[in-house]
Amino acid sequence: MIKNIDPKIIAKAEKWLTEEFDATTINEVQRMLDEGSDELIDSFYTDLEFGTGGLRGIMGAGTNRMNKYTVGMATQGFANYLKKQYADLTQISVAIAYDCRNNNTFFANTTANVLTGNGIKVYLFDELRPTPELSFAVRQLNCQGGIMITASHNPKEYNGYKVYGDDGGQLVSPQDKMVIEEVRKITNPSEVIFQGNPTLMENIGNQIDELYLNRMKEESLRPDLIKANKDFKMVYTPIHGTGVKLVPDALRKFGFANIIAVEAQNVVDGNFPTVHSPNPEEPAALKMAIDKAEETGADLVMATDPDSDRVGIAVRDKKGEMVLLNGNQTASLLFYYILSQYKENQKLTGNEFIVKTVVTSEILIDIAKEFGLEYFDVLTGFKYIAEIIRREEGRKKFVVGGEESYGYLIGDFVRDKDAVISCCMIAETAVWAASQSKTLYELLEEIYAKYGFYHETLKSIVRKGKTGAEEIQALMDKFRQAPPTIIANEQVTDIKDYEQQIHKNIRTGESFKIDLPKSNVIQFFLADGSKITMRPSGTEPKIKFYFGVKGKLDPNSTNPVTMEMARTSAQEKIEWIIKDLGI
């Protein structure tokens, strides 16, 4: 079979048979060469790319895999960046954490050794910790950088490596590009200093946990209600991930006493044996927790992903059945509760703001306006929310931020999405609703009745290979060059093109500059409040269409419009939009 493989791939693989590599790696590469299979091609046809968020890939030997050498080269590049960027500091420091993934301690120690070998002090967590705690530690310890070993919710074969700046947020421009440039300069493992310096290594753990939890508790808005409802039943599952370490502790710190575990999923395991995917956006990932809620009579289910930066929830509907909420709905509950309490507690001074991503529901803007808060829309990615927080720091107060993909942040002591505090504040929202004899579902219904019923769905179109990429770009070009004026019998009132950085008001003919980085994203806004967003994925061969339509919810009138009726009507509208767009 090997004769059918590109000679360049074979030559690239044979370079991994030299003394620079360990015996295990050499044996693995030799096996792939002997077999001459697709595995060899996949492992060596390209180099694992260090992107703006870091590394992510399948584990194994090869230039296109997560292993000691690709991680070492990335870390050497990051070390070189830090030494240039902070040349005036006597001692540069970096915090490192890892989640439940297979080989995580190995990759964490490899990373730590390369950094200390380069004279950089490392604060290494003693065992697995959530991503948001890594962000907190960077700030708490005044580090110049942070590294989180995680592949988020990817399948068990993957691992990854996320890089953070000195503010505890993931790197943004121009720093991300500067790091990428330094990483690309490292072309051979021989350029990496793998031998660490133990004197520059310091283990951290419980003390940071306590600081993190105590600071988190300061964001609680109604400890009195929690005290009165401390036995409120909730089911929590970490889905084998880092949440098991801190989420129950955080809930207890807030005052909750009846946290029901899914014992089989409390087992830390990078193979995720009880689920097909450890992604809380997927209904199947919450099945065991929902079953536990039915068994125990709990009214709330919460599930976090492996690195505990995202949370999915289920609540009881009016029939008493457990139903899943999507990311926009959970964000709506959180934003409404938090801003309501800020107002009730007279904490609103007119200098507060919220942040959401452009693909997230417009209802969050409606809520912000209701309470008189400034709002910011940013590109997809929580690093852009952190960037706004840093930009406004010292001038305005950040209250809450969120994105439709199940990520939320309350307070600014962490600079990435934080499922630990999100679980606590979701539970607090639930007891606030309960104090008014409402469920979370009924509270959501009340929010929709007040601001309008918002319904969002996502459609992805996959087009693989070179021709697929060309098809995707042609689709974007069509909508950019000849945008529709009417969609689903509604006038297009505004078009936002984030690549051209122009917002056009179709009704007035005016154009405004979009003050965000260029991105291949187009949005159409319709007269009835609907929003359509299209953007090619940066990591997969697909184009994503986000649909958000706005309808009416009036459950108490003589001709009531219930949640089910509003949802059916909204979905019909989305199907009409899809048909009109021809996708």
Catalytic residue numbers read 152
Mention every residue, 6+ apart, whose C-beta is less than 8 A from residue 445: 553, 555, 563
Give the CB-side neighbour count of residue 572, counting CA atoms within 13 A: 8
Helix 419-435 to helix 327-344 angle (10° resolution) is 70
Which value, to the nearest 10 degrees, does the dihedral of the CA atoms of residues 423, 428, 434, 436 take? -140
* CA pair distance 506, 487, nearest whole angstrom: 14
Of the candidates 541, 539, 495, which has an alpha carbon nearest to the alpha carbon of residue 521?
Answer: 495
Residue 308 carries which DSSP code? S
> Cis peptide leading into 174, omega within 30 of 0?
yes
- The answer to whether the beta carbons of residues 400 and 332 sit under 8 Å apart is no
d(C-alpha 68, C-alpha 26), whole Å: 13
CA distance 21 to 23: 7
What's the rounded Cα separation, in Å, for the pair 5 and 3? 6
Cα distances from 144 to residues 71, 138, 140, 389, in angstroms, run 19, 7, 11, 18
Q: Which two tokens stand for residue 124?
A: 């290494």
Q: Which of 402, 408, 414 is nearest to 364 (CA)?
A: 402
